[in-house]
Structure 1
Amino acid sequence: MTLESSNTTVGILYDIENAPFEMLNYTLGKARRFQPCRTIVISDWEERPEQKRWEKLLRRPGFTFRQISRTFLGKNSLDSALYDSAKLLYEEGVRRYFIITTDSDFVRIAQMLNSKEKSYIIGVGTKQASETLRNAYDEFIVYPAEEKETVRKKHTRKNAETAEKAEEALEKAEPKANKKAEPKKDVKSKKAKANKAEKNEKEKPVKAEKQEKAAKATKAAKTAKAAKTVKAAKTANDEQAAANAAAKNAKSKAAPQAAAAEKPEQASHVNPAAAAPSAAPAAKSEHKAKAAALPEGTFAVRLPKTLRKQLEARMQEEEVTMDELITYLLMRGLSH
């Protein structure tokens, strides 16, 4: 098949099996950048005879549409037919191409178009195209995401600029608003302080009265406590004095009785023949000397040995002193 072309011709290789009609229509719009020149669109149009729109597309002015024949049927038959057509265009001097596909098998067509003299190849495919396919072209146009992303970026940039302007306007307006709000704030704070001072003035007499009552109650409690302590101490002193007086009286009454009890025992042990009249005054003076040697307020009592032994045994049994035991006995005798 002979294709009339030259270096002012643009070749468009359309993978009709893997690219929809919209992608071809989109590419035809992009190809106008190279005009005025001849544009040849090559594909197997008979493969999709049911699509009436091909007929309408074939009548489109400014483009030449060529039908290619496959040398064999099956997988990659269209790729091989397009490869053969691209090779013919390349040998006739065409150096500008559009390849419409997302199939990575078309990489070998791009390599062939750059085998001897480099061509300028623009690929058109979806975002699923591999990096190998993209790198094989001089340009790669994503359909349709790239245009949508461009529009979205424009809107995003516009929104960002609007937001920045609004923020700047807000920053400029904020100091003015603060200046206007400050006097009101001062008036409110002054009014609040005045109300608080007035409230404190009203509460002062009540607080003073409460403090005075609390001080009186504390003073009365301290006075009552001191009086109670003095009374208790006086009562204890009176009881102690009464006990001392009772003990003293008991001792003074018990002295003659103890002396009387001691005399019979002494008489039973003393030999009348040995007792000389001259010894009595000496013993009496010795007893007086011993009594004088005792501390003031105490007196000596001589007890019979039997009574003393009984008292000592009772003292050990009760675990008390001799004075305590005698005092107890005397008090007991006085009570009967």
Structure 2
Amino acid sequence: MTLESSNTTVGILYDIENAPFEMLNYTLGKARRFQPCRTIVISDWEERPEQKRWEKLLRRPGFTFRQISRTFLGKNSLDSALYDSAKLLYEEGVRRYFIITTDSDFVRIAQMLNSKEKSYIIGVGTKQASETLRNAYDEFIVYPAEEKETVRKKHARKGAEAGEKAEVALEQTDTKKAEPKKDAKSKKAKANKAEKNEKEKAVKAEKQEKAAKAAKAAKETKNTKEVKEAKEAKPAKAAKQVKAAKPAKNAKPGKAVKAESAEKAEQANHQEAATAPVPSPAVQHEHKSKAAALPEGTFAVRLPKTLRKQLEARMQEEEVTMDELITYLLTRGLSR
């Protein structure tokens, strides 16, 4: 809606219970854009009689301040009284309004001011005002507004910025002066750290060398001990072998021992036969005659006396005949 200069009256509804004096003073400054016109400010001024500044405000030229009466006491008594006053202004033809509040109950006043003919309503409140209240107005002004930077503040800001720059420059100068000292300290710290590292490395190397020597000594001691134990164990082992051999020698011979005896007897027979005197031709002829007289498949052998005794003893031990024993011995000899 476009405001028309023909409208000669502006109504300001002030919620004195929920809006401070500064908000009213701010709204009066905003209302000057509609002047020259009559401006009526409605509220319960007697509610704050102890504040002298209200008296000064009431004497302000160009504004009419109207006192409202509350028909009942209670929480919403001021809202109801402002509603009745706004209704009277609306019936008189006023179509421009300022409503100073953050209370959402004033939405019904805005709805009433647009019930027949549309009014132009400007709301003034804090940023805590609800969306419902803001949407009920044609305009909504947030209080306090952002203040524009004055010349004095601008100079103060520039002075503060210059002071900050001077402090930064001074800090940089001090830093440059302190850099040589800092570098010397840093170099000294690095040298101390390097020296400390060298000492730690030397101590570590010495420890490793000691550990290696100790390990080597322990290994040599272990080897010496093993050699000594081996030397001590050799006589014991030999004695053990001798001791184990004695029972075998004194033990009663079994079949293996008997076979060994038979081998020894056979070797003795061979030696005796080799050393025996060669018989004369007459004796040899006699032996051949006897051998021819024997049945086919048999042969006669003249054994030395010693060998014969050994064979007879062996025959009795083995419980076999002489032929079986000789056959066994011959077979054994031929198989070698």
TM (norm. structure 2) is 0.50
- What corresponds to 1:80 in structure 2? 84
Alpha-carbon distance in 2 for matches of 1:51, 1:87: 34
Matched, 1:288 2:310: yes
1:110-136 Cα offsets, whole Å, 9 max, x none, are 345556775442213456644222111
- What corresponds to 1:37 in structure 2? 36
* Conservation of the 8 A alpha-carbon contact between 2:13 and 2:82: no
1:219-238 Cα offsets, whole Å, 9 max, x none, are 13312212212321331222
What one-letter code is carried by the residue in structure 1 that aligns with 2:26? G
- What corresponds to 1:131 in structure 2? 131
- What corresponds to 1:324 in structure 2? none
* Conservation of the 8 A alpha-carbon contact between 1:27 and 1:124: no
- What corresponds to 2:66 in structure 1? 66
Alpha-carbon distance in 1 for matches of 2:51, 2:108: 32
* Conservation of the 8 A alpha-carbon contact between 2:12 and 2:99: yes
Aligned residues: percent identity? Answer: 40
The alignment partner of 2:40 has SS state of: strand
Superposed CA RMSD: 5.2
Matched, 1:224 2:225: yes
Alpha-carbon distance in 1 for matches of 2:239, 2:28: 133
- What corresponds to 2:100 in structure 1? 100
Alpha-carbon distance in 2 for matches of 1:209, 1:67: 106
Relative to structure 1, the CA distance from residue 39 to residue 287 in structure 2 (aligned partners, 3 Å threshold; closer, same or farther) is: farther
The alignment partner of 1:189 has SS state of: helix
The alignment partner of 2:92 has SS state of: helix
Relative to structure 1, the CA distance from residue 222 to residue 142 in structure 2 (aligned partners, 3 Å threshold; closer, same or farther) is: same
Relative to structure 1, the CA distance from residue 182 to residue 290 in structure 2 (aligned partners, 3 Å threshold; closer, same or farther) is: farther
What one-letter code is carried by the residue in structure 2 that aligns with 1:81? S
Alpha-carbon distance in 2 for matches of 1:288, 1:81: 165
User: How many residues are matched?
Assistant: 240
* Conservation of the 8 A alpha-carbon contact between 2:41 and 2:63: no
- What corresponds to 1:189 in structure 2? 190
The alignment partner of 1:40 has SS state of: strand
Query: Could you tell me how far 1:39 is from its partner in structure 2?
Result: 4.7
The alignment partner of 2:65 has SS state of: strand
* Conservation of the 8 A alpha-carbon contact between 1:11 and 1:98: yes
1:244-286 Cα offsets, whole Å, 9 max, x none, are 235425669xxxxxxxxxxxxxxxxxxxxxxxxxxxx999856
Structure 2 unaligned segments of length 5 or more: list them: 148-156, 254-302, 320-336
Query: Could you tell me how far 1:98 is from its partner in structure 2?
Result: 0.9
Query: Could you tell me how far 1:289 is from its partner in structure 2?
Result: 4.0
What one-letter code is carried by the residue in structure 2 that aligns with 1:32? G
Structure 1 unaligned segments of length 5 or more: list them: 152-157, 253-280, 292-298, 305-336
Query: Could you tell me how far 1:45 is from its partner in structure 2?
Result: 4.7
Alpha-carbon distance in 2 for matches of 1:219, 1:139: 104
* Conservation of the 8 A alpha-carbon contact between 1:87 and 1:112: no
* Conservation of the 8 A alpha-carbon contact between 2:13 and 2:99: yes
* Conservation of the 8 A alpha-carbon contact between 1:122 and 1:139: yes
Relative to structure 1, the CA distance from residue 14 to residue 213 in structure 2 (aligned partners, 3 Å threshold; closer, same or farther) is: closer
Alpha-carbon distance in 1 for matches of 2:181, 2:132: 65
The alignment partner of 1:62 has SS state of: coil
Alpha-carbon distance in 1 for matches of 2:212, 2:72: 114
The alignment partner of 2:137 has SS state of: coil
What one-letter code is carried by the residue in structure 1 that aligns with 2:193? A
- What corresponds to 1:331 in structure 2? none
* Conservation of the 8 A alpha-carbon contact between 1:86 and 1:109: no
Relative to structure 1, the CA distance from residue 66 to residue 26 in structure 2 (aligned partners, 3 Å threshold; closer, same or farther) is: same
Alignment of 1:112-127 (within 5 A): 113-114=113-114, 119-125=119-125
Query: Could you tell me how far 1:201 is from its partner in structure 2?
Result: 5.3
Alignment of 1:98-247 (within 5 A): 98-111=98-111, 113-114=113-114, 119-125=119-125, 129-142=129-142, 146=144, 184-185=185-186, 187-197=188-198, 208=209, 211-212=212-213, 214-245=215-246, 247=248
- What corresponds to 1:14 in structure 2? 14
Relative to structure 1, the CA distance from residue 58 to residue 6 in structure 2 (aligned partners, 3 Å threshold; closer, same or farther) is: farther
What one-letter code is carried by the residue in structure 2 that aligns with 1:83? K
